[in-house]
Amino acid sequence: MARHEEELARELRRRGYSRRDVLRIGLQLGLGAASMGMLLAACGSSEPAAEPAAEPAAEPAKESIFDINSGNSGNWPKSAVADPGSKVEISVGHTWDAVFFERQLQFDKLFMERHPNIVVKAENTPWGEFRQKYTAAAAGNALPDLLYTQFSWAQETIRSGMYIALDDYIAKEADFNFDDFTKPSLVSYQYDGKLWGIPYDEGPGNLYYNKDIFDAAGEAYPDDTWDLEKLKQVAIKLTSGEGPNKIFGLGELPSPGDSLMAPNYLFPFGAQYLSEPKEDQCLINTPEAVTAMEWWEELRTKGAVPSPADLQNVAWPAFQFGKIAMTLQGSWATPPIAAGSKFNWDIAKWPKGPKAHSTFSAGSAYMITRDSKNVDAAWIYMNEYLSTAGQTYMWASTGRGSPSRLSAWPAYLGSEFAPPGAKNVEEAMSKGIGTHDIIDQPTGPRVTQAAGPIWDLVVAGQKSVKEALDEVFAAVDPIIAENRG
């Protein structure tokens, strides 16, 4: 109860409301006297009330309400490129959710204070419609100076000439420090020997687990000693119950309709989906791949994985229902799981397999577009935005996690938002477990669109694994033919 009053009070104070305003709003809200007291007390204190120091993993939702000065280390890089002599405007295309966009505006405000001649216009577009908007903008040569780009469409857009190469600018900056970026993070933005974008985040797939289910079964939590055999055993063991009360050991199984599948489900067994990184050969129906996929499918026959009917949900991972013991999710799932879960949970590494220890890694970047009229100013912005200080301010200190620079990780791991297992996420990136050998060539969407529906029939029990993988090969091979030669 108290938490919400404090939050509201903080929010109101941040917006410059006086105690009197708070009282008025509180009355409009019909808050009871006790709540009002708490609200005013929280409002009266000069410092935001300290968050309860509970175990972060068990800590329920936090709405993202950020203090503009929190996370600002002040160590902003000094660019070798000089600030413009007179006012210029740059626009930046983002796709943040409404709440996090506030943080973006805070960053921009501080940036403009440091660079009085650069006016930053942040454009924010809903995630679902981002591609439509900026495809139209690209066709009309009306792209903003800087643009968000996800790994999955980076190669396509780089090759179509939408961005400018950054190598010359990077060469000028003595303190840029290329080695600071986690290895997989740069892969998607390189083409033709040049770098076309700078990633802000790159996160691995992790094993998220529901501690309450483990505790109830008296099972030890997953740790670094686990291998996939163990994962399978425990998943079967934790599966119990019937109907609405059924607990599933594992959240999902591999599907060739998923561009991130290979590192977690095939590489550990020495198999591959497409030949990475060129993606010019399909290896999904080789004996190793078929064996690996059959190995995973056993979990379905044992009922340890929810069926599509069980998974009938719209927009959130089923893990949050609390009916799934373990799930493979990208590190970007941490904030929504933290906000939407009513149980104890934590993060472990994806277990190793007989042939390799690997998990997928993916992320997003910002690019300077060919339509930019103020490339220098855009670079100055980008250099600060994606520096250690910038990544700390934007993503590490706010709990978004998975910064692309290793030097920004300590700030995340030390923040109140990082669950105890967050160090496993960092280690997956720094110890070479996370790999960017996922499907990311321009043919990628067509490959997964062709393969997914075939696999649906395996899921429905209407087709054997071998049969389906042969069909996937036949469907995918002509598509990736364009990657040859």
The mark string for 49-88 relative to another protein (x by CB under 8 A, - otherwise) is -----------xx-x-------------------------
- In this chain, which stretch among 70-78, 229-237, 335-343, 346-354 interacts with another protein, using CB under 8 A? 335-343
Footprint (CB under 8 A) of another protein, residues 121-140: 121-129, 131-133, 135-140
> Could you tell me the smallest distance in angstroms from the CB atom of residue 472 to another protein?
13
Q: Please select the residue that binds another protein; options are 23, 119, 247, 457, rule is CB under 8 A.
A: 457
Q: State how far the Cα of 356 lies from the Cα of 8, in Å rounded to an integer.
A: 49
Interface positions, 152-211, toward another protein (CB under 8 A): 153, 156-157, 160-162
Q: State the number of CA atoms in the 13 A half-sphere of 204 facing the CB.
A: 30
Alpha helices in 270-391 (DSSP H): 287-301, 334-340, 375-385, 388-391
Binding another protein by CB under 8 A: which of 22, 38, 95, 387?
Answer: 95
Backbone Cα Rg of the chain: 24
* Interface pattern 13-42 for another protein (x via CB under 8 A): --x---------x---xx------------
* C-beta of 92 vs 238, nearer to another protein: 92
Closer by beta carbon to another protein, 114 or else 159: 159
CA distances from 110 to 103, 116, 144, 156, 412 (A): 11, 10, 20, 34, 21
**Using the rule CB under 8 A, which residue among 34, 460, 474, 481 binds another protein?**
460
Neighbours of 124 (CB within 10 A): 17
Among 219, 288, 376, 456, binds another protein (CB under 8 A): 456
| Site for another protein contains 100 (CB under 8 A) | yes
Q: Which one among 446, 464, 470, 483 touches another protein, defined by CB under 8 A?
A: 446
E-state strands within 158-213: 190-191, 194-195, 198-210
CB of 360 to another protein, least distance (A): 15
Tokens of 483: 């990657």
Q: Which stretch binds another protein (CB under 8 A): 166-174, 215-223, 328-336, 416-424?
A: 328-336
34 vs 15: CA distance, rounded Å: 23
Instruction: Give the whole-angstrom CA distance, residue 388 versus residue 76.
Output: 8
Return the residue of 19, 177, 322, 413 that touches another protein, per CB under 8 A.
Answer: 322
Stretch that binds another protein, among 108-116, 185-193, 407-415, 449-457 (CB under 8 A): 449-457
CB closer to another protein, 250 vs 389: 250
Q: What is the DSSP letter of 119?
A: E
Of the candidates 43, 49, 45, 50, the one whose C-alpha atom is nearest the C-alpha of residue 16 is 43
Q: 231 or 468: whose CB is closer to another protein?
A: 468
Nearest-approach distance from CB 73 to another protein, in angstroms: 25
| Contacts of range 302-309, beta carbons closer than 8 Å, 24 or more positions apart | 302/236, 302/239, 303/239, 303/248, 304/235, 304/236, 304/238, 304/239, 304/248, 304/249, 304/250, 305/235, 305/248, 305/249, 305/250, 305/251, 305/252, 305/253, 306/248, 306/251, 306/252, 307/459, 308/459, 308/460
Give, as ranges, the residues between 281 and 310 that touch another protein (CB under 8 A). Answer: 307-310
Q: Is 219 in the site for another protein (CB under 8 A)?
A: no
CA-closest candidate to residue 396, choices 194, 147, 203: 203
Closest CA to 44 of 83, 1, 5, 93: 5
Single-letter code of the amino acid located at 136: A
Among 220, 312, 484, 485, binds another protein (CB under 8 A): 312
Task: Count the residues in the chain.
Answer: 485
Residue 230 or residue 463: which is nearer to another protein going by CB? 463
- Residue 142 or 481: the one with the smaller Cβ distance to another protein is 142
Torsion of CA 410, 415, 418, 423, to 10 degrees: 20
- CA distance linking residue 425 with residue 429, whole number of Å: 7
Minimum CB–partner distance for residue 130 and another protein (Å): 9
Helix or strand run (H / E) with residue 434:
strand 434-435
Of residues 340-359, which lie at the interface with another protein (CB under 8 A)? 340-342
The stretch among 50-58, 272-280, 287-295, 314-322 that binds another protein (CB under 8 A) is 314-322
Among 38, 333, 386, 451, binds another protein (CB under 8 A): 333
